[in-house]
């Protein structure tokens, strides 16, 4: 799996600028993602079923070329 800092591009994205995106994505999207995960659990609880986490997203866009 590629590192977010893995690829070299013509534009220097800046290490700090890459890392701050983790914070930005987490802050903005964090609540939404948490809700999504827990909604599944809550639904499963009330239906009396065992919670099965959704399968991870497929790696459709992964084009590894060194």
Partner 1 sequence: MSNARVSSSFRDPSGYLFTRNDTLYRQVNRSYAKAYDKFVDSGLYDELSTKGWLVAHQEVDIKADNAELAYRILQPQKVPFISYPYEWSFSQLKDAALLTLEINKLGLSKGMILKDASAFNIQFVDGKPILIDTLSFDIYRKGSAWDGYRQFCQHFLAPLALASLVDVRFMQLSRNYIDGIPLDLTSSLLPGKTRFGLSGLNVHIHIHAKMQQQYADKQGAANNAGLLTKDALLNMLNGLIKTVQSLTWQPGGTEWGEYYSATNYSDDSLKQKGELVGAFIEKGNPSTVWDLGANNGLFSREAAKRGIFTVASDIDPAAVEKDYLTVRGQGEKNLLPLVIDLTNPSPAIGWANSERDSFNDRGPVDMLLALALIHHLAISNNLPLESIADYFAATATWAVVEFVPKSDSQVQRLLSTRKDIFDHYTEEGFEEAFTRYFSIVEKKPVSGSERTLYLLKKK
- Chain contacts with partner 1 (rule: CB under 8 A): 1-7, 9-11, 13-29, 32-33, 57, 59-64
Taking the complex as a whole, the smallest distance from the CB of residue 12 to partner 1 amounts, in Å, to 8
Backbone angles phi, psi at 15, to 5 degrees: -60, -45
Per the CB < 8 A criterion, the answer to whether 2 and 64 are in contact is: yes
Least distance between partner 1 and beta carbon 20 (Å): 5
d(CA 34, CA 18): 23
Integer Cα distance of 19 and 16 in angstroms: 5
Nearer to partner 1, 22 or 44 (CB): 22
How near is the Cβ of 45 to partner 1 at its closest, in Å? Answer: 24
């Amino acid at each position: 799996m590629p590192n977010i800092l893995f690829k070299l591009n013509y534009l220097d994205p800046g290490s700090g600028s890459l890392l701050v995106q983790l914070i930005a994505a987490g802050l903005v999207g964090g609540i939404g993602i948490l809700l999504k995960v827990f909604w599944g659990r809550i639904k499963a609880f009330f239906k009396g079923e065992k919670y099965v986490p959704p399968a991870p997203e497929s790696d459709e866009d992964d084009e590894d070329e060194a």
